[in-house]
Structure 1
Amino acid sequence: MAGSVHDSQMYNKLFPTGDAGRLFTDSAEVRSMLIVEGALAKAQGALGLIPEVSAAFIHRATLEIPIDPGGLAVSAGKNGVPVPGLVAAFRKALEAPEHAQYVHWGATSQDIMDTAQMLRLRQLLNHCETGLTTLLSALADLAETHAALPMAGRTYGQFATPVSFGSHVAGWGWPLLDLLGELPALRDASLWVSLSGAAGTGAEFAGQGATLRAALAEGLGLRDPGRSWHADRGPVLRIAGWLTRMAQLLGKMGDDLILMAQSSAGEVRVGASGGSSTMPQKQNPVQPSVLLALARQVVGLNATMQNSGMPRQERDGAAWFTEWLTLPQLCLSAAAALETAQDMVPGLTPDGDAMLEVFTSSHGLLHAEALSFRLAATMPRPEAQEAVKALAKQVIATGTPLGDLARAAYPDLDLSGLFEPDQQMGDAPANARAFAGAVRSL
């Protein structure tokens, strides 16, 4: 098996990353670092920190000269970072020593790498925004179409009270809608430029460090945090946390669907079911299983990411390396979960007959709470609860429907509509429609 399923020729279709996969390659990293170097030179030229003619030459060259990532391996292995090798290779490719000397003027490797990473994370968040919008639209369609389809609600894995399939879908969608709404603030609080020099003091920028950082931020479309953040990994951890929550929410959806599609329930059909190598009858819920597996991986990776959040002193190689080992996989797996969910949701089909059969086979126990409240109109609530508990035990012991036992025990009690699932869903249909409306208003 390949070191990463996302790079595997066998498994990349099972865990598809879509366009996000292009953001986490050696070529993408080198290209983004060159963009930062070019923008830095341009800003320094405008401020007179380096000759303007050299700044223009360097900026143009960063857009035109390709650097082979493989050629940086030896230098990265020796120095612990690829930037020294990148700068050396770029200066050589310029074939203009009078200009090449001004490349990377006063910056440090972490300035270039952190800023380049933010350029790619910005694209990833844009990708997630588009994907979430598409997914929410599909969930809204599903919730609205089945807003009034009765379904057994379950708590602790046990039958609870009637809900609707639409409200269950809305339960998946509401927190995703919240995540989408958090993106503007997340971008503002996390997509930062980094430019602080060797030890975070900007001493090499002739007293213009703050002005230069602001100019670089404007040139790259990133935010100027107004300070060094070499040893503050908060921006990266915030983005990782947001991606983790997205993966968790999609994993919850997948886990619910695994249970709903299992042979003993069969309440939902997953459009892209998988087959078995030996059992012809199998319709395996592959995509829901992918969502759950990816969520578990992302949660674990985020736990590892937290260890990068306490770097020693002004910079810490071990903490930084931990981030490199972890963040790309976290991003790719979260993106794969979103890709999988987008593909899966339009093919989901609820089985109304199977859902109705649950109410029948449970002998009315899903209406026990409603019966206790109906009885509470004639006796104190605690007594009503005890009475219904006693009836429920009879149902379990004899298989007699709760409705029959209730009618026999309380012949004068009005039980109209109480054992009709479509009349006992409370606000579930309204909640499903409210979710759909909220998505439509985006």
Structure 2
Amino acid sequence: MPASPFDHPHLSGLLGDAEIAALFSAEAEMREMLRFETELARAESAEGVIPAEAAERIGEVLAGFSPDAEGLKAGVAQDGLVIPELVRQLRKAVGGDDAVHVHFGATSQDVIDTSLAIRLVGVCDIFDRRLSGLVEDLTALERRDGGTEVMAHTRMQAAIPVTAARKIRSWRDPLERHRERLPAVRDGVAVLHFAGAAGTLEKLGGKGEAVSTRLAEALHLTAIDHPRHSERDGIAEFASWLSVVTGSLGKMGQDIALAAQSEVGEIRLGSGGGSSAMPHKVNPVGAEALVTLARFNATLVSGMHHAMVHENERSGAAWTLEWMLLPQMTIACGAALSTAAKLVANISFKARDASA
């Protein structure tokens, strides 16, 4: 069994999401961390905090910088995070008198959390697009099959006949509400993290606010009036949103799997999984994956709530827990949205047998 199914050469075909995973790759993380350092130098230069020549030199070097990966790995083993060793490598690459101006006034969490914020904005854009498409697909399914009569079930027992539209709306409407909530969730994570060692920007003197404003504009993030190093409600709300989205998709998957049972036959699967022993079967693989991903995120969201508990101004333990959980939850949500779109495109409702 692999350590992670999301990037496994086989299981990623079922549970992976290459588009979302790319935003959590080491390359994407490093790209945005270097972007932070470059734009920080430019903002500080514009406000007279560091010399213009230093900002220009930093920008030139970082544009073509390739870190020593093994050195970064060793640095994380010692320091618990990548930035101390990365800054050492950057200053060595810049060299001369300009090296001291690299990362000036910033702290490790500024770089790491801002890199994440930039990438989560991209994630939110992808999810908005996918939710919109899925809602449209479900609306089209309702137009085509909504008048088909099926059996409602309460507590797993047959209740009364209803139209398929009743079931489809119970899948679609929550997704519409999740999409309506997404802008507020996005605002909660799309913030600049720049506050220095303990949230005071003491090295910048009276220029902290001006530099923050310039830096936020360059990175297309929101400048806030005080740091959120230890205020993790925005991240937790994002994780909760991921869980409720996958939960709604899991409900749809469960309904489809039940309705596609041979004994029920109210939904036809246009495609499905085969069996090595029973070639007549069309297994509801996509529907089952939605249920699995929903349960996975429901399990992990508890850990993200635990990660809100930061002691004082920064917690190494809580912060590291986020690194372990949030990428997996985000990829799981992305995989669920993609799987749901494929599933909806390959199902049709079959009229209920009135004699049954």
Query: Where does 1:360-379 land on structure 2 (aligned, <5 Å)?
Result: 360-361=355-356
Q: Secondary structure at the match of 2:307?
A: helix
The within-5 A match list for 1:14-413 is 14-94=14-94, 96-352=95-351, 355=352, 357=353, 359-361=354-356
The CA deviation at 1:324 is: 0.8
Pairwise CA distance, 1:261: 1.0
Contact kept, 8 Å, 2:145 with 2:348, in 1: the verdict is no
- Could you report, residue by residue, the CA deviation over 1:250-271 in whole angstroms, capped at 9, with x for unpaired residues? 1111111111111221111223
The amino acid that maps onto 2:42 is: K
> Aligned partners of 2:268, 2:350: CA distance in 1, in Å?
7
SS at 2:206 equivalent: coil
Query: TM-score, with normalisation over the residues of structure 2?
Result: 0.96
After superposition, what is the alpha-carbon deviation per residue over 1:164-217, rounded to whole angstroms, capped at 9, x for unaligned?
A: 112311210111011112222222233111011111122121122222222211
Distance in 2 of aligned mates of 1:70 and 1:22: 21
SS at match of 1:90: helix
What's the secondary structure of 1:192's corresponding residue? coil
Contact kept, 8 Å, 2:231 with 2:308, in 1: the verdict is yes
User: What SS does structure 2 have at the residue aligned with 1:163?
Assistant: strand
Kept in 1, the 8 Å contact 2:297–2:329? The answer is yes
**Residue deviations 1:144-180 (CA, integer Å, cap 9, x gap):** 1122111112222222233211231121011101111
1:155/1:339 CA distance change after superposition, 3 Å: same
CA deviation profile, 1:207-262 (whole Å, cap 9, x unmatched): 22222222211110011221111110111111111111111111111111111111
Is 2:5–2:16's contact at 8 Å kept on the other side of the alignment?
A: no
For 1:109 and 1:148, locate their aligned partners in 2 and report how far apart those are by CA, in whole Å: 58
Question: Do the aligned residues in 2 keep the contact of 1:145 with 1:166 (CA within 8 Å)?
Answer: no
2:285 and 2:103 map into 1 onto residues whose CA distance is: 49
Q: Are the aligned partners of 1:268 and 1:349 in contact in 2 as well (CA < 8 Å)?
A: yes
Aligned counterpart, 1:426: none
Aligned with 2:301: secondary structure?
Answer: helix
Judge conservation of contact 2:148–2:350 (CA < 8 Å) in 1. Answer: no
> What SS class does the counterpart of residue 258 from structure 1 fall into?
helix
Q: Which amino acid counterpart does residue 355 of structure 2 have in structure 1?
A: T
Q: Report the CA distance between 1:123 and its aligned residue.
A: 0.8
1:143–1:167 CA contact under 8 A, matched in 2: no
Asked whether the equivalents of residues 151 and 165 of structure 1 are also in contact (C-alpha less than 8 Å), the reply is yes
Letter in 1 for 2:62: T
**Contact kept? 2:7, 2:16, Cα under 8 Å:** no
CA distance in 2, matches of 1:339, 1:236: 23
Equivalent residue letter for 1:222: L
- Is this contact kept in 2: 1:30–1:69, CA < 8 A? no
Aligned residue for 1:35, secondary structure, equals: helix
Q: Matched residue of 1:227: which SS?
A: coil
Question: Residue 70 and residue 289 in structure 1: after superposition, are their counterparts in 2 closer, same or farther (change >3 A)?
Answer: farther
> Structure 2: how far apart are the matches of 1:164 and 1:224?
50
Give 1:24 shift: 1.1
**Structure-2 separation of matches of 1:59 and 1:235:** 31
TM-superposed deviation, 1:90: 1.9
Q: 1:71 Cα deviation (Å)?
A: 3.4
SS at match of 1:169: helix
Secondary structure of the residue aligned to 2:13 is coil
* TM-superposition CA deviations, 1:21-54 (whole Å, max 9, x none): 1011111111111111111111111111111121
Q: Report if the CA contact (8 A) 1:148-1:165 is conserved.
A: yes
Q: What is the aligned-residue RMSD (CA, Å)?
A: 1.4
The amino acid across from 1:195 in the alignment is F
Structure 1 residue 297, shift from structure 2 partner:
0.6
Cα distance in 1 for partners of 2:68, 2:237 equals: 32
Judge conservation of contact 1:27–1:69 (CA < 8 Å) in 2: no
Give 1:70 shift.
Answer: 4.0
Larger radius of gyration: 1
Post-superposition Cα deviations, 1:265-290, rounded to whole Å, max 9, x if no partner, equal: 11112233111111222211000011
Question: What is the letter of the counterpart of residue 308 of structure 1?
Answer: A
1:49-82 CA-partner distances (Å, limit 9, x unpaired): 1111211222343333222444310001100010
CA distance in 2, matches of 1:90, 1:75: 14
Mapped to 1, the partners of 2:293 and 2:270 lie a distance apart of 20
Unaligned runs of 5+ residues in structure 1 are 362-442
Cα separation, 2, equivalents of 1:69 and 1:29: 13
Per the alignment, in what secondary structure is the counterpart of residue 154 of structure 1? strand
Task: Determine helix, strand or coil for the equivalent of 1:144.
Answer: helix
Partner AA of 2:41 in structure 1: A
Contact map agreement 1:18 1:339 (CA 8 A) in 2: no
Query: Aligned equivalents of 2:110 and 2:202: distance in 1?
Result: 14
**Does 267-276 or 294-303 show the bigger shift?**
267-276
Structure 2: segments with no counterpart, 5+ residues:
none
